[in-house]
Each structure stands twice: as C-alpha cells, then as structure tokens.
Amino acid sequence: MQIPKPTEQDKAGFRSMIPGDPAVVIKPMFGNLGAFVNGNMFAGLFGSLIGVRLVDDASRRELEAVDGSGPFGPVERPMRGYVGLPAEWAGQPERSARWIEVAMSQVRALPPKAAKPKAAKPKAAKRSR
C-alpha cells in the first residue's frame, strides 16, 4: 500500500483550516497529518487530500453528494466514516473549513478516546563487576 506524502504547502494549508481550539491537537499520522479533539480524529490529510469524519449520516450523505468528494485514505482501504473533500476546493479554503468545523463539532460529541498505556520499557540488565 502506497501512502502519498503531502507537500509543506499542503500541510500549511491543512493547519490553517483547523479551528484554533485548545482542545484540538494536530499530529503526524503515517507521514501525513491528523486533527484530533478529545483523542478522536475529525480531519486528516492524505497526500494533498483532506478528509473529514462525519458521524451524522445526513451530513455524510450531503457531502458525498457534492461533485468531487469521495473516499478518504488508501484506495485499498478507505477510512470508514470519512469523506474526502473535493480537490477543487483547494483554492477555496472557506468551503473546506466549513466541513472541518462540522466534523469537529460532531466528533467532539463522541466520548473521549482513552489514551493507550505506554509500553513498559524493558529493565536494563545489571552488570556484574
């Protein structure tokens, strides 16, 4: 499975559309970026494609009906519940930002994702003198 890499311009554009909310965290995801609220991802970057997670079926159907929208993620395994925003919206960040805010609002209402416990580091073997 080939994972496309975003350009620095793609990353900057994505970051500029994410709401400036203290509960939002943007972090790397497999060479791309993801935006999270309460530990749940609500928007992601996959190469130059932005995808949003829409929990509400009506919202998801509305966005899927827009020309140019489609699956988000690897072709072999698109991410369920996510819709890729039309590539034509790259020059119209306000359109993308609207859907990113809708996704953030819907995902914020989900229960917070519990942080995974960190794996214990193996103890170093004691040296005998």
CATH number, position 24: 3.30.1460.30
pLDDT band at 113 (very low <50, low <70, confident <90, very high): confident
Provide the number of structural domains found in the chain: 1
Q: Report the C-alpha gap between 86 and 65 in whole angstroms.
A: 11
Q: Each residue of 6-44: pLDDT tens digit?
A: 999 999 999 999 999 999 999 998 889 999 999 999 999
120 falls within a domain: no
Residue 129 has pLDDT above 70, yes or no: no
Q: Report the C-alpha gap between 125 and 129 in whole angstroms.
A: 13
Q: Partners of 51 in the beta sheet?
A: 44, 84
- CB count, 10 Å around CB of 122? 6
Query: Containing domain of residue 20, as a range?
Result: 8-108
Running DSSP on this structure, what letter comes out for residue 70? B
pLDDT band at 1 (very low <50, low <70, confident <90, very high): low
| pTM, rounded to two decimals | 0.85
Q: Each residue of 54-105: pLDDT tens digit?
A: 999 999 999 999 999 999 998 889 999 999 999 999 888 999 999 999 999 9
Length in residues, the chain: 129
Q: Report the C-alpha gap between 126 and 68 in whole angstroms.
A: 61
2 falls within a domain: no
